[in-house]
Amino acid sequence: CKSGGDNESQDLLQCTNSLCFCVQRTPVVGPGRVVFEVTLEGSARKLVTVRSALLLNNQLEDLVEVKLDNGSLISAINRSTKYLQVSPGDVVPIPLSHVMATMFVRPVHKTQRPGEGYVFCNKPIFWGRVTQPGDILEETLQCHSNKDHKYRFCTAVSRDNYPLDRPVGTVGSPLIIQPAHMITLLPPITVANLLPCDLHYTVREVVGLAGRIKPGLSTAVHQVNTESSVELNFHLDNFPQPGSLVVPPGATSSNHLFKVHDSLGRPLFLHGSVSVNKGAGIKVRLSGTEVRLAGTEVRLAGTEVRLSGTEVRLAGTEVSVSAPFWLVNKTALPVVFRQEGVPETAAGQFEEHETARMVAPLLFSFSDSEASHTLVARVGNSLHPEGISQFCQPFHLQKGVQVRRLRVSLRDSRPDVMYEFGIDVRPGRGRYRNTNIVILSPKFQLHNKSSFQLQFAQRCFATTL
């Protein structure tokens, strides 16, 4: 490109491909970093975005307002204060005129009334201490409301792989840190529900803090202080007696096992996974159970435990909750399960399971570690009230396919009624990889692809129609 003027405040830059830029020049003190980002729009058109090298990534569930204050900077182009709003999941570049500004953040709720809401965070967000690519600085901040509510969140500042900063001017000149950073906003604790049913949670340290998480979803918890221990209590609709999981301060990724009880006192063991990934928050998952902390990730879904290998300052945690097994009944029959060697049926099964097939998967875990780790099943007693349902031969819950026969002994000396079904055990995928899916299906399936309505009967039972 070549310039169309010398000392004018506005120059016309002519490029060899006839693309023209109009540039406004303003004297500034010190250098700046500008990023030209080229992306492809559609199949052929290229989009060139000119932006600063300082990005703000909002990973919170709430809309946030950002305050950029240039008032204390002598060398600032614009000494005014600028406000930005960043939606959940958005990544926004900070305006070039305010990359050196003091930054404050606060959440904005859509339902809040004028005069309500939170003030800006108690400390500014500062990125200049991260000077090497790959380094991550995590910090926990909080905002106060006029009703004395606290909203805590975490910041993770990382430097992108731009050229390292150098002294400007002569030898011995001070080093000016240029923005080349990503600032990520994270919740202090995220609870993920990896169960096929609703998950209820409460927090012991915060009175009145409770919630319900739909299957496969997660929720952020902002009222807790991760610098002290946090006790999470979980229960399910059919398991009213809760189990607890404690996230200690400075936690690292770990797996936990806790149990809940149904209304008959039968236990169900769930896995709690606490994940602390540096710069990614703390997450707790229940998939069983998975828990994540902001920098920590813990997953419990069997006996597999993963550690991050390094301890980092706690800035966000994910807690995930999962179950060891899901029992999926596709046989169209009411089927009741029991661990081999244990006198009572598996937890979560009640009188309705004796009458009709369960639609939702049944959460299962071995309640007695000293008994056989196999499972037995029978049809519901209401299917043939004139007979006695017998448990089948034990089957294991390891990957593979098995076949079992369910028998009902009739009281009037008639031949027994028998049902055969297949058992397919598969490991879960993705975030459900710590859960095994056990699918029960008929040994044979008849698909009528004709245009006629057909009736089927086993030959020994066939009669003249």
pLDDT for 190-206, tens place per residue? 999 999 999 999 998 88
Give residue 215's pLDDT: 94
Give residue 10's pLDDT: 44
Q: pLDDT category, 14, cuts 50, 70, 90?
A: very low
Lowest mean pLDDT across 8-22, 57-71, 345-359? 8-22
On whether the CB atoms of residues 179 and 52 are closer than 8 A, the answer is yes
Q: What is the mean pLDDT of residues 114-139?
A: 86
Give residue 288's pLDDT: 46
On whether the CB atoms of residues 101 and 124 are closer than 8 A, the answer is no
Give residue 153's pLDDT: 93
Q: pLDDT category, 1, cuts 50, 70, 90?
A: very low
Q: What is the mean pLDDT of residues 298-302?
A: 34
Lowest mean pLDDT across 12-21, 22-31, 219-228? 12-21
Nearest-angstrom CA–CA distance, 180 and 182: 7
Q: What is the mean pLDDT of residues 9-38?
A: 59
Give residue 462's pLDDT: 67
Which of 37-46, 166-175, 415-424 is modeled with the greatest confidence? Answer: 415-424
pLDDT at residue 17 is higher than 50: no
DSSP per-residue string spanning 216-285: T-EEEE-S--TTS-EEEEEEETTEEEEEEEEE-TT--SEEEEEEEE-TT--EEEEEEEEEEETTTEEEEE
Q: What is the mean pLDDT of residues 240-249?
A: 91
Query: In this prediction, what percent of the chain has a pLDDT beyond 70?
Result: 79
Q: pLDDT category, 249, cuts 50, 70, 90?
A: confident
pLDDT at residue 426 is higher than 70: yes
Give residue 28's pLDDT: 52
Structure-derived torsion over alpha carbons of residues 281, 285, 290, 294, reported in degrees to the nearest 10: 10
Nearest-angstrom CA–CA distance, 292 and 316: 7
User: Which of 236, 446, 243 minimizes the C-alpha distance to 360?
Assistant: 236
Nearest-angstrom CA–CA distance, 192 and 447: 39
Give residue 284's pLDDT: 52
Nearest-angstrom CA–CA distance, 312 and 354: 51
The per-residue pLDDT for range 38-89, each reduced to its tens digit, is: 888 888 888 898 999 999 999 999 999 999 988 765 555 556 889 999 999 9
- How confident is the prediction for the chain on average, in pLDDT? 81
Give residue 290's pLDDT: 35
Q: Please tell me the pTM assigned to this model.
A: 0.77
